[in-house]
Structure 1
Amino acid sequence: MTQTTSTAGQTGQKPGGLRVSRVFSRPDVHPYDEVTWERRDVVQTNWKTGEVVFEQKDVEFPDFWSVNASTIVTTKYFRGALGTDQRESSLKQLIDRVVKKYSATGLAEGYFASPEDAEVFEQELTWMLVHQYFSFNSPVWFNVGTASPQQVSACFILSVDDSMESILNWYKEEGMIFKGGSGAGLNLSRIRSSKELLRSSGGTASGPVSFMRGADASAGTIKSGGATRRAAKMVVLDVDHPDIEEFVETKAREEDKIRALRDAGFDMDLGGRDITSVQYQNANNSVRVSDEFMQAVQDGTPFGLKARTTGEVIEEVDAKDLWGKIAKAAWECADPGMQYDGTINSWHTTPESGRINASNPCSEYMSLDNSSCNLASLNLLKFLRDDDSFDTELFTKAVELIITAMDISICFADFPTEAIGDTTRDYRQLGIGYANLGALLMALGKGYDSEGGRALAAAITSLMTGTAYRRSAEMAGVVGPYKGYARNAESHQRVIRKHGAANEALDNVAAIDTEVRRAAQHEWDKADVMGQANGFRNAQASVLAPTGTIGFMMDCDTTGIEPDFSLVKFKKLVGGGSMQMVNHTVERALTNLGYDATTRQSIVDYVAEKGNVVGAPGLREADYEVFDTAMGVRAIAPMGHVRMMAAVQPFLSGAISKTVNLPESATVEEIADVYMQGWKLGLKALAVYRDNCKVGQPLSSGNQGKDDNKSTTDQAKPEVRVEYRPRRRRLPKSRAGRTTSFSVAGAEGYMTTGAYSEGQLGEIFLKLGKQGSTLSGVMDAFSIAVSIGLQYGVPLESFVQKFTNLKFEPAGMTDDPDIRIAQSILDYVFRRLALDYLDFDERGELGIYTADERAHYVETGSYLSEEDEASLPESEQLKNDAGDDLKVDQAGAHQPSLIDAADVRPVEVESSDGHAPHTTTEMMEDIIGQAFDAPLCMTCGSKMRPSGSCYVCESCGSTSGCS
């Protein structure tokens, strides 16, 4: 394969167009004819319930595409009604629909020197897409080449001014973006605070937090009206806004409500029927902090909050105290995140056109108000040669082609608002990025949290963005710079030189880093020279997005900048079923680390059994770090994530979508330190999530609320609190029950249950293993714990939520026609209990159905027969549209707890250490000890996993909010 270079723009003169040389494709063979194609049946089932939710037979994909990738592309991206001739059925049709639109537009708009160059461009893109070298973002696959509006952008930023007209327009614009399945962010800091007066009446303003309620309700309504995932939105407030404390504590207060309502028996889980009674749940909140504020935090000095109308300081606060409130709120509920205003705007290429005030929902796109960005991501592992060197020339050529295509798309793209369309066409912001960094580093034997890992990641990111800007300058020499370039030329050139200087300052840890860094420096130098001659076609070039769905399309092991999630994964098999397997990168890493074949196999077998490398035979402890993952026994420390972000940030136009995960035991001070280090290390944005913070106890301190004027004797007195403690409701001496025999992967057992007179479950007994065995004893103790919890009023739904999807052996096929596959004994037991004792509405929210209900759904699109549905209360009747997921009116009545109001009595509790005792439900959750680390997929019922600041489903590709 001969590698040649494009000659466009080399002299700074405007040529007739870009010359495109073949690098990936061959002149005598079409890319489709180089691979073997096969026909498959794509059948998507609910992982929890087994019902068929999608089926398309005889679809065509290359034989090396995984079942998972072909399933996601078929269900997500093929257009046309199922069962009609208009339905796409081959990857060839999908790629042709998109790529031919790009090449035709590029030729018509003067990008290419000749039709032959346009044809080569088309075949080069086709080859890379077929071979999974990169992917455009989802809106491209959804819309390009169809009768739908040609929406190509996934990221949007809106704006709102201090007027009712602007605020109501914000609601409208945000709603239209949500309706289209995308998300948006905006900064509310222009809206005057609740401490300022209205011009017209002299009354007090409502403040931005009050208007957030309306926007939140709108987002929730649009979601329940037709979407299968929560609305994706980001709300930002500047740290010097007078309402900043109210903003910071808003979601933490709502979490307190959630805990109180859940303890009272209401269904407050994600998607629960009662969760809509709390507010502000549809947005990510972030505080935009200034360098001035951060310095005040360090110095312990006051900080002024400024009126929006006059700019004068109307209140001073203790910076450290406000910083503590931010960290405490994030400890309690993961909000707010951080956006570092000084760093963001110091790397801004177009400051003469306005400041950067906000971001998209995932915080990777940061640019002007009322703008958008389309994304594409490269699969880094594809550029690793057989000798484990990184192919810088091939990577450079790929970036050239992709960034050209991304810019061409703006020529034909449609936008949700006129203002967004105008700004995007005038500034042409792009967001090229990558996936599979975690897999690349592991394959090379480099730890994610290591100097070597960070050095290579930084060099690759630098090469990507430097090449993108150099190509942008070439395109400017052909079709002109972006419209806003002239007034921002000096600032844009300054930022280009800052990127180049950061590349020069990179430390080289290994030969591979040196090679990539040198290639990157070459690109930055060319970008600087050519940019001065031609200008740049694009105001921004790169971001690091979550790459959830498109990452699965490319068969990536890791998404975005994330490390590997786990060393063992489940792989779908042709014809259905799945198998558990150790990541292929593990053995490649062991080879790079010098282990022989016998030792490698022993380690792989150990990982397959244990899920981690700790104690693996023959593995040196010094090499453990190579196999550290996002979760599990060897989880990467929080600062390991922060340091990786800091390594690559200087080489991105935008920012990074990533959440730093912390253990449940993390303290407020640790979260404050993560946020502080993010500022010191030069990040643009940072979000955190403390495990189980959404359902854990609120932070309490005996010193809170202490009056400094009280005597020491008064302060030492024990605090007296009123706690409402439930009483145990025992079962009657004679009660109805049932015994169920079951088999999971050949392991047999018996479950006996007892119920109250009204039919509610009150006790369970599990018989497993021989009498007197350890397993038998453990199951007896577990049964007692669950039974006591049920009798104290812990809802059965809570147990089902916690124990379904637990994975451990034995796991596999069962003898139960309603539950064909179970991931463990407990997974089976609690799914069976849900079917036996929960009503349809409650089971539906958990995605658990009988075999008959699933069969009925396949035939009619509804889980209930017409007679059963008609018997439901009107407010809870299901929608029968075949394309809809299960949707039940969220205003349904609350299912009463086993405990009546008369059973609850106030108890005075002396607290010598200032910590309130557990409520009964919280004590039971401590016994359960299972953190709810990710939601279930609203489309197929599978457990989702983190991807950036969102969640993504490995089974079907659905996301929790990020496109």
Structure 2
Amino acid sequence: MTETVGGTSGSAPRTSRKSAKNGLKIERVHTTEGVHPYDAVTWERRDVVQTNWKTGETVFEQRGVEFPDFWSLNASTIVTTKYFRGAVGSPERESSLRQLLDRVVLTYVKAGKDFGYFATDADAEIFEHELTYMLLHQIFSFNSPVWFNVGTSSPQQVSACFILAVDDSMDSILNWYREEGLIFKGGSGAGLNLSRIRSSKELLRSSGGTASGPVSFMRGADASAGTIKSGGATRRAAKMVVLDVDHPDIVEFVETKEREEEKIRVLRDAGFDMDLGGSDITSVQYQNANNSVRVNDEFMEAVEEGTSFGLRARTSGEVIEEIDARELWGKMAHAAWACADPGIQYDSTINDWHTTPESGRITASNPCSEYMHLDNSSCNLASLNLLKFLTAEGTFDTQKFVKSVEFIITAMDISICFADFPTEAIGDTTRKFRQLGIGYANLGALLMASGLAYDSEGGRALAAGITSLMTGTSYRRSAELAGVVGPYEGYAANVDGHQRVMRKHQAANDEIRTKHAIDIAVQKEATKQWAANLKIGEKNGWRNSQASVLAPTGTIGFMMDCDTTGIEPDFSLVKFKKLVGGGSMQVVNQTVPAALEKLGYTGETIEAIVEFIAENGHVIDAPGLRPEHYEVFDCAVGERAIKPMGHVRMMAACQPFLSGAISKTVNMPETATVEEIADVYFQGWKLGLKALAVYRDNCKVGQPLSSQKTQDKATSGQAAAETEVKIVEKIVEKPIRRRLPKSRAAITTSFSVGGAEGYMTSGAHDDGTLGEIFLKLGKQGSTLAGVMDAFSIAVSIGLQYGVPLETFVSKFTNLKFEPAGLTDDPDVRMAQSIMDYVFRRLALDYIDFDTRSAMSIFSVDERQRYLDTGSYEPVKGDGSTAAELVTDEAAGPSPEAAAEIRAEAQIADAEAVAIQVETARPASGRAHTSAELLEEITGSAVDSPLCMTCGTKMRPAGSCHVCEGCGSTSGCS
């Protein structure tokens, strides 16, 4: 019997098979017969309230929401604000996690029964209970579109990842714009390859004129993405643009965003607001996409050997230009160094692991680079919480992990049966090839809790073993599903290709170099799963052409209360924990004591080490901790940050066991060179990765500027330039030293930067201009004191020979090195180094307002004046002083306190800093000054954007950023 189920949004009709060959027999793993999972936990009611930082107005309020008592406040807040459906305040609004889980799980179970997945209704009920238990206990989570859409009146879109296609015709290009718009409107992202579009060096067939080239058409798509974003979305559109390395326009493509970044810097220096989300950023192009170059083995071998490489016409395939491969490679590395784009995708490796080569090549990826398959296709994701499988004895529960993967893969495949898609082409391809993307989160926490360093052979062996076990089990279950409801439609044409890739995975599993009992047990079970997979698959075929990817797991990672996302290491050893009733407290990650216990430490020693970490943020010189164990606690940032190649090696360990790829950006320090980035990209190819992206700290503009009138800034900039020219001419003619009078006015300032204390004395000429400085830092006779004396003399002589103070200020402000952090100066609350503080203080003391404003250096009174009046300029008769601004737990932050925090943290265009203040607010009722709040808000020296939803500093998650305050991401679903 069959029944037709109508689809929406371009979906084709689907048939329900009531009479399947055999249904699945389901066994209980987590649940007990006769006990519903809801009845085995303790539930409690909570209030979720969010307020506008500026007005104090409540922007979200839902009281009495119901969650299990073991869910954190952060997790319940994210689920309430993002995933509960229905208008707030209406009877239809969801108010309990039970309602959310039932809405999703019961839809999956009904579809599973309708499409013949279960042997009996009793098996369907067990499946329902098991799936509910796993979601309830945060063992795994579906991707966000499932929680948004399934079981609602909206189109039942379950996929987060999309790949489009564009051909060399105007109709196709315009359709590209349309399809991207539809996907962006739904809050998802898409990627595509533009290499079919002929280059600007080729002729048009119709008129004989020169073609525009793909880069020119990128402008229209970029503008479209920006417009749709500004039309209501709270994050920028997520998109990936790929171009093959042999395209004749490849150099233009590589340099496109680098040139735009230079333009951004020029406009910023001219006084325009070029911050992310700033009012003037729309004047530059190509900012809404990640760009990647598709390189093949032929090109990489040419780079390795230093030979030329041919660029090919799109229409004929003939070589129309020869280029030096290393020169192009250098341009790619330099552009990535300058602006983080382009990333790189290794085409030959990608297609060597392609299960359906007869149905087309893999040409592109989704925006985060983890999903790679056929054009016009999609993938739905789900991620396991790995820490849930670490036993009290310190072993990894392989059997429970295997059973959990079985349930998840079954559910994910069922969802394709009822899912809707944004275009007919995407729906058709997805139903024919049934691409899935199971993955995991909390790897970093699992490794630390197991006493294994992230950048170690043992850490990589366990990660590889778990990834192999996950994918081997997924494909084995897929083969079993093929025996029940049939293989994917495209399997018949790709039998040889699919089986070949299965054998490649199996062979890679045999090459894992196990080190410890925990990873030996995991790899042993993985070997069994791959053997069973091949045996069953050769008989039945497979239900799914793709099974696994490693996604960023940003929002759903917080939903599962994970310490780490995706394949990432622990971000830092301390984090903020939200408290019921408001506020937060800084706590050491719970994986730290577990790791210490695993390493053999006990009682008071663990307490002392944890207390040290809470105070210092790192383990160096922690009392009782052996230096050989430091590496276990290495994190993504801070002291002993994991080196870039440590991240690359971890990716390489896991890549052979993934159908798709890995969403991860290799973060590099600001001091990284072009050559180091080129080497990271080259090693990615050598180690067999499918894709790689890098981000050099501070490579992109992100500093908000003064909002004075452009003409004023241009004028002051011109005046400064003219002054500099005159000084150069004077020095060239004959430098003349202007000595200070015997008696002169001087200012002595004591200061503290990041806990380091010092003194500065500045002496002035009779006209008030600065002529000398003396810096005292460190003990007399120490190396530091000597260096500071020498530096003071050098600056003083420079000042006396006519070097303007503003020149020193422009060179030494924003220098980054320790000590850094909060100061005791109300005018300069945060400093990135001693030099940054000293020259900001000197600018405030000796440079006129107009000149300082061009440098965006303002006193606390001036910043407050801007927030009150919209102008930094002093008003005649304004003798107001900045009063101490406080926030109280009960009353919340005063508008003045929030405003100062916003100004001093340099937060621009963030309409809801309330979450930042709430997160930083103490649990006790005592008042906190805005300075203390500021330290907690901006204390992390990580180059990440601010959340466009709530204003909180985001942190990296794969190729994106995720907000710990509200769960929003910078582009990934």
Paired residue type of 1:173 = E
Residue 886 of structure 2 is aligned to residue 815 of structure 1? yes
Query: What residue number does 2:958 align with?
Result: 948
Distance 1:41 1:361 in 2: 35
* 1:153–1:372 CA contact under 8 A, matched in 2: yes
Query: What residue number does 1:295 align with?
Result: 301
* 2:898–2:913 CA contact under 8 A, matched in 1: no
Give the C-alpha shift of residue 939 in structure 1: 1.0
* 1:472–1:536 CA contact under 8 A, matched in 2: yes
Give the C-alpha shift of residue 89 in structure 1: 0.2
* 1:190–1:308 CA contact under 8 A, matched in 2: yes
Q: Compared with structure 1, are the counterparts of its residues 35 and 205 closer, same or farther at alpha carbon in structure 2 (3 Å cutoff)?
A: same
Give the C-alpha shift of residue 779 in structure 1: 7.6
Give the C-alpha shift of residue 52 in structure 1: 3.5
* 1:45–1:940 CA contact under 8 A, matched in 2: no
3-state DSSP of counterpart to 2:489? coil
Q: Deviations over 1:689-728 (max 9, x none)?
A: 000000399xxxxxxxxxxxxxxxxxxxxxxxx9973769
Query: What residue number does 1:154 align with?
Result: 160
Query: What residue number does 1:465 align with?
Result: 471
Which residue, out of 533, 541, 559, partners 1:535? 541
Distance 2:447 2:859 in 1: 38
* 2:53–2:912 CA contact under 8 A, matched in 1: no
Give the C-alpha shift of residue 776 in structure 1: 14
* 1:455–1:507 CA contact under 8 A, matched in 2: yes
3-state DSSP of counterpart to 1:689? strand
Give the C-alpha shift of residue 822 in structure 1: 8.5
* 1:138–1:550 CA contact under 8 A, matched in 2: yes
Which residue, out of 260, 273, 289, partners 1:283? 289
Distance 2:221 2:610 in 1: 51
Matched length: 794
Q: Compared with structure 1, are the counterparts of its residues 35 and 513 closer, same or farther at alpha carbon in structure 2 (3 Å cutoff)?
A: same
Residue 577 of structure 2 is aligned to residue 583 of structure 1? no
Distance 1:189 1:961 in 2: 24
* 1:340–1:685 CA contact under 8 A, matched in 2: yes
Query: What residue number does 1:29 align with?
Result: 35
Distance 1:645 1:425 in 2: 30
3-state DSSP of counterpart to 1:682? coil
Query: What residue number does 2:102 align with?
Result: 96
Give the C-alpha shift of residue 791 in structure 1: 4.1
Distance 1:73 1:848 in 2: 19
* 1:435–1:558 CA contact under 8 A, matched in 2: yes
Query: What residue number does 1:792 align with?
Result: 851
* 2:143–2:382 CA contact under 8 A, matched in 1: yes
The alignment yields a C-alpha RMSD, in angstroms, of 3.0
1:669-684 equivalence runs, <5 A: 669-684=675-690
Q: Compared with structure 1, are the counterparts of its residues 148 and 634 closer, same or farther at alpha carbon in structure 2 (3 Å cutoff)?
A: same
Give the C-alpha shift of residue 816 in structure 1: 5.9
Q: Compared with structure 1, are the counterparts of its residues 454 and 528 closer, same or farther at alpha carbon in structure 2 (3 Å cutoff)?
A: same
Paired residue type of 1:66 = S
Q: Compared with structure 1, are the counterparts of its residues 512 and 320 closer, same or farther at alpha carbon in structure 2 (3 Å cutoff)?
A: same
Residue 480 of structure 2 is aligned to residue 474 of structure 1? yes
1:808-847 equivalence runs, <5 A: 814-815=885-886, 831=902, 845-847=909-911
Paired residue type of 2:554 = G
Percent pairwise identity: 72
Q: Compared with structure 1, are the counterparts of its residues 88 and 586 closer, same or farther at alpha carbon in structure 2 (3 Å cutoff)?
A: same
Query: What residue number does 1:247 align with?
Result: 253
Distance 1:371 1:389 in 2: 39
1:371-410 equivalence runs, <5 A: 371-410=377-416
Distance 1:819 1:39 in 2: 20
Which residue, out of 913, 921, 933, partners 2:943? 933
Paired residue type of 1:845 = D
Q: Compared with structure 1, are the counterparts of its residues 779 and 961 closer, same or farther at alpha carbon in structure 2 (3 Å cutoff)?
A: closer
Query: What residue number does 1:347 align with?
Result: 353
Residue 674 of structure 2 is aligned to residue 664 of structure 1? no
Q: Deviations over 1:82-130 (max 9, x none)?
A: 0000000000000000000001100110010011111100100000000
Residue 796 of structure 2 is aligned to residue 725 of structure 1? no
Q: Compared with structure 1, are the counterparts of its residues 206 and 119 closer, same or farther at alpha carbon in structure 2 (3 Å cutoff)?
A: same
Residue 574 of structure 2 is aligned to residue 564 of structure 1? no
Query: What residue number does 2:344 align with?
Result: 338
Give the C-alpha shift of residue 457 in structure 1: 0.2
Which residue, out of 299, 318, 322, partners 2:324? 318
Query: What residue number does 2:240 align with?
Result: 234
Query: What residue number does 1:202 align with?
Result: 208
* 1:768–1:779 CA contact under 8 A, matched in 2: no
Residue 228 of structure 2 is aligned to residue 170 of structure 1? no
Which residue, out of 306, 315, 340, partners 1:309? 315
Query: What residue number does 1:54 align with?
Result: 60
Q: Deviations over 1:436-482 (max 9, x none)?
A: 00000000111000001000000000000000000000000000000
1:886-897 equivalence runs, <5 A: none
Give the C-alpha shift of residue 827 in structure 1: 9.2
Distance 2:904 2:577 in 1: 29
Distance 1:645 1:789 in 2: 52
Paired residue type of 2:909 = E
1:427-826 equivalence runs, <5 A: 427-695=433-701, 725=721, 782-785=840-843, 788=847, 791-794=850-853, 814-815=885-886
Query: What residue number does 1:6 align with?
Result: none
Comparing 368-377 and 940-949, the one that deviates more: 940-949
Q: Deviations over 1:589-623 (max 9, x none)?
A: 01111112111111100000001111111111111
Residue 491 of structure 2 is aligned to residue 420 of structure 1? no
Structure 2 alignment gaps of length 5 or more: 1-18, 704-717, 725-822, 828-832, 865-883, 919-937
Distance 1:850 1:105 in 2: 42
1:265-280 equivalence runs, <5 A: 265-280=271-286
TM-score, scaled relative to structure 2: 0.78
* 2:843–2:857 CA contact under 8 A, matched in 1: no
Q: Deviations over 1:218-266 (max 9, x none)?
A: 0000000110000000000000000000000000000000000000111
Paired residue type of 1:783 = R
Paired residue type of 1:580 = Q
* 1:231–1:282 CA contact under 8 A, matched in 2: yes
Give the C-alpha shift of residue 848 in structure 1: 7.1
Query: What residue number does 1:923 align with?
Result: none
Give the C-alpha shift of residue 767 in structure 1: 6.0
Query: What residue number does 2:740 align with?
Result: none
Residue 225 of structure 2 is aligned to residue 219 of structure 1? yes
Give the C-alpha shift of residue 72 in structure 1: 0.2
* 1:183–1:361 CA contact under 8 A, matched in 2: yes
Paired residue type of 2:618 = N
Paired residue type of 1:953 = C
* 1:768–1:776 CA contact under 8 A, matched in 2: no
Give the C-alpha shift of residue 792 in structure 1: 2.4
Q: Deviations over 1:323-373 (max 9, x none)?
A: 000000000000000000010000000000000000000000000000000
* 1:939–1:958 CA contact under 8 A, matched in 2: yes
Give the C-alpha shift of residue 821 in structure 1: 7.3
Q: Compared with structure 1, are the counterparts of its residues 726 and 816 closer, same or farther at alpha carbon in structure 2 (3 Å cutoff)?
A: farther
Which residue, out of 127, 133, 138, partners 2:139? 133
3-state DSSP of counterpart to 2:231? helix
Distance 2:217 2:244 in 1: 16
3-state DSSP of counterpart to 2:909? helix
Q: Deviations over 1:883-942 (max 9, x none)?
A: xxxxxxxxxxxxxxxxxxxxxxxxxxxxxxxxxxxxxxxxxxxxx999771111111111
Distance 2:593 2:410 in 1: 37
Q: Compared with structure 1, are the counterparts of its residues 766 and 26 closer, same or farther at alpha carbon in structure 2 (3 Å cutoff)?
A: closer
* 1:800–1:831 CA contact under 8 A, matched in 2: no
3-state DSSP of counterpart to 1:725? helix
TM-score, scaled relative to structure 1: 0.79
Distance 1:843 1:473 in 2: 52
